[in-house]
Amino acid sequence: MPVIMLLEILLTLAFGAAAYLYFFRKKEETLPIEDRWWGSGQKPDSEEDATVHPFKVETTDEELNDLFRRLDQARFTEPLEDSCFYYGINSVYLRKVVSYWRNQFNWKKQVEVLNKFPHFKTKIDGINVHFLHVKPPHLPEGHSAKPLLMVHGWPGSFYEFYKVISLLTDPASHGLSDEHIFEVICPSIPGYGFSEAPHKQGFDSVCAASVFYKLMLRLGFHEFYAQGGDWGWLICTNLAQIAPNHVKGLHLNLVSVLNMRFTQLLSILLGRYFPGLFGFQEEDVRRMFPFLKKGLYKMLMESGYAHIQATKPDTVGCGLNDSPVGLAAYILEKFSTWTDPEYRKLEDGGLERKYTLDDLLTNVMIYWVSGCMVSAMRFYKENIGKGIGTQKHDKLPVRVPTGVASFPNEIMHTPRSWAQKKYTNIITFNLMPKGGHFAAFEEPELVAADIQQFVGKVEREECWREMRK
């Protein structure tokens, strides 16, 4: 009968409309992947060589002799009286570091340390990408290794992860629970360390994320975890925005929310007095206020490097590629101040309280022997030069399960309530008891433990399955 037919049609339409709306709403906007060519000159017509070649870090006597000559002829400027680390690195302490570097530091031995993990290179989008691929030495029965991509930042390198990698790939040998064992893929960002630098302009964090995504696919991983701090935070975030179905979980030791919203501004003005209203915990208030001093003023005092690197990287990097002492001064100043801002009051910048000179200098040597400081600095211009908080990826939320380890001496503190505006699926958010910016380097046990508890929660609650619905 016509009425029933009409009803049927209407119902079908209604059902169809509902289904369409349901799927339309559920469809998430992802960040488009970048497919540009970064090699020199024109992209060749032939297909790219996708082989993964093993790689070993090497050194020569010539390289060492050149370094020694430069160290021997270094020209220092006497610091002002009582200036400690307030004017930047203190050259009296720097002389001691250089003397150690010249006479006791053994680069050949450190190269062997670097080579204890397997290194590889593979060409992606025209440039050679360097990475470590560390598999667990022994896997208990029934266990599978979870793939974990770990991305470094500036002025760090893959070397920052050497201690935490051991804890994650071989927890049993370090007296830790082996419930979660990982195989770690740790690349060098193009332009850093042993990864080739892009030859074209415009290589930003989304481009780096695209390259790493292709790398993981090439290695056969379709689902993996990602971890990062400093630039690694942004690159892993972008990766989660590009391929949310492939990133099981995102673990960050730095979170920065750059496009300020009105409520955030309001929370800065009133958060100290009405913390509960803005979702601030006591520790948040302690780390953030007084905001002028701990936020704005501190940012101004400590962001000179970012300002000049985001505008004139080729100029500022020039000297750091020609003077190893200049390079060490520039890098080590960050390892001092970003580990604990109070270290500025110390004549030696407190550097050896948390790190050994061998570790610190190994990281510096990676920049020196690869000559990558200029290209590393260009990353600032490519990312910040277009504007802060205005890029597409700044506005897109992150729906992948996220775990945040918030360290007390991190440069800027981001409370959970702010992070939640962008990372809509925060599974764990832990305020760590100690540690600064270089978390993996300084507090590897804390970072490893936090990754494990985050992954544990994700796997148990199968949060990542929710994502597929």
Partner 1 sequence: MWQQVLQSVRSFEYPQSAIVVSTALGAGGLLTCWLLSRQKIKTLEVGDGWWGSGERPPKEKEDESIRPFRIETSDREIQDLHERLDRARYTPPLEGAAFQYGFNTTYLRRVVAYWRNQFNWQKQVEILNQYPHFKTTIEGIDIHFIHVKPLHVPRGQIVRPLLMVHGWPGSFFEFYKIIPLLTDPAGHGLNEDVVFEVICPSIPGYGFSEAPHQRGFDTLAAARIFHKLMERLGFKEFYVQGGDWGSQITTNMAQMQAKQVKGLHLNLVFISSSGLGRLVSLILGAYVPWLVGLTREDSHRLFPYLEKNVYEILRESGYLHIQATKPDTAGCGLNDSPVALAAYILEKFSTWTDKSFRDLDDGGLERKFSLDDLLTNVMIYWVTSSIVPSMRFYKENFSTNPTTAPHARVGVYVPTGLAVFPQELTYTPCTWAKKKFKNIVAYTYAPRGGHFAAFEEPKLLAEDIKQLVRKVECL
Q: Which residues bind partner 1 (CB under 8 A)?
A: 40, 66, 69-70, 73-83, 87-91, 94, 198-201, 300-305, 307-323, 325-327, 329-330, 333, 371, 373-375, 378, 381
Name the residue nearer to partner 1 (CB basis): 22 or 76. 76
Name the residue nearer to partner 1 (CB basis): 382 or 443. 382
Measured from the Cβ of residue 30, the count of other Cβ atoms closer than 10 Å reads 14
b/e per residue 132-165 (b: at least 16 CB within 10 A): bbbebeeeeeeeebbbbbbbbbbbbbbbbbbbbb
**Is the N-terminal amide bond of 290 cis, ω within 30° of 0?**
yes
Query: Least distance from C-beta 342 to partner 1, angstroms?
Result: 17
Query: Least distance from C-beta 409 to partner 1, angstroms?
Result: 18
CA 370 to chain centroid: 20
Q: Do the beta carbons of residue 446 and residue 432 sit within 8 Å?
A: yes
Beta-carbon contacts of 196 under 8 Å, excluding residues fewer than 6 positions away, are 127, 128, 129, 190
Q: Tokens for 456, please give them.
A: 């544990």
Measured from the Cβ of residue 314, the count of other Cβ atoms closer than 10 Å reads 12
Which residue spans within 29-160 are E strands per DSSP?
Answer: 52-55, 119-124, 127-134, 146-151
Name the residue nearer to partner 1 (CB basis): 63 or 178. 63
Name the residue nearer to partner 1 (CB basis): 13 or 296. 296
Name the residue nearer to partner 1 (CB basis): 313 or 350. 313
CA–CA dist 170, 206 (Å, integer): 32
Catalytic annotation present for 437: yes
**H or E element at residue 357:** helix 357-370
Catalytic annotation present for 355: no
Q: Which of 180, 248, 200 is nearest to 452 (CA)?
A: 180
Catalytic residue among 225, 413, 437, 450: 437
Amino acid at 85: F
Query: Least distance from C-beta 77 to partner 1, angstroms?
Result: 4
Q: Do the beta carbons of residue 159 and residue 362 sit within 8 Å?
A: yes
Each as own residue / partner, the long-range contacts of residues 291-295 (CB below 8 Å, 24 or more positions apart, any chain) are 294/413, 295/268, 295/412
b/e per residue 366-398 (b: at least 16 CB within 10 A): bbbbbebbbbbbbbbbbbbbeeeeebebbebeb
Query: Least distance from C-beta 367 to partner 1, angstroms?
Result: 12
Pairing mode, if any, of strands 127-134 and 182-187? antiparallel
Name the residue nearer to partner 1 (CB basis): 93 or 105. 93
Query: Least distance from C-beta 298 to partner 1, angstroms?
Result: 11
Catalytic residue among 192, 367, 380, 423: 380
Query: Least distance from C-beta 373 to partner 1, angstroms?
Result: 8
Query: Least distance from C-beta 55 to partner 1, angstroms?
Result: 21
Q: Do the beta carbons of residue 229 and residue 153 sit within 8 Å?
A: yes
Name the residue nearer to partner 1 (CB basis): 334 or 422. 334
Name the residue nearer to partner 1 (CB basis): 137 or 304. 304
Q: Tokens for 202, please give them.
A: 């415009």
Catalytic annotation present for 314: no
Query: Least distance from C-beta 69 to partner 1, angstroms?
Result: 8
Catalytic residue among 125, 204, 230, 284: 230
Q: Which residues are catalytic?
A: 230, 380, 437
